[in-house]
Amino acid sequence: MRYQAALAEKAKELGVHGFNNNVALKTLVEISYNGVAEENDEIQDIWANLFINAVNMEAGVDVKHAYISVLKDFGPIEARIMNSLYNNRDIAMKQGALAKPLPELVVSINPANISHKEENLPPEDTRVVI
């Protein structure tokens, strides 16, 4: 299955050797179930990353059940937006970021220059997403 291959690849990539025994089995089962059931490759990769982060002792990530709840409602656009923001997190953390046009591009901005005029806003469907 693709999900199992994604898990194996991510574990190998991160060099995961020790497994976190503090994660509730219910949480791991739910992450795995949703990862296997997901048809979209991008979202399936996010499930695989969440699983690996949950079981990897070295990740230092406390996987909350809320992450599962949110990810269950993700569609392809939300996955692309999240991946784009994550991949550009250094810019966002240092300078703030304006995701326009979403989800292909994240642009560094100076918050003082933000205009709230209608013509500067992303399309309505994108504004609803963010």
Higher-confidence residue of 11 and 33: namely 33
Q: Give tens-digit pLDDT for 94-118.
A: 665 555 555 555 555 555 555 554 5
Q: How far is CA 52 from the centre of its chain?
A: 13
Query: What are the structural domain ranges in the chain?
Result: 1-74, 76-130
**Element holding 6 (H helix, E strand):** helix 2-14
What's the token pair of residue 59? Answer: 């990740």
Given a cut of 70, whether residue 82 has pLDDT beyond it is: yes
Mean pLDDT for the chain overall = 74
Res 130: pLDDT: 45
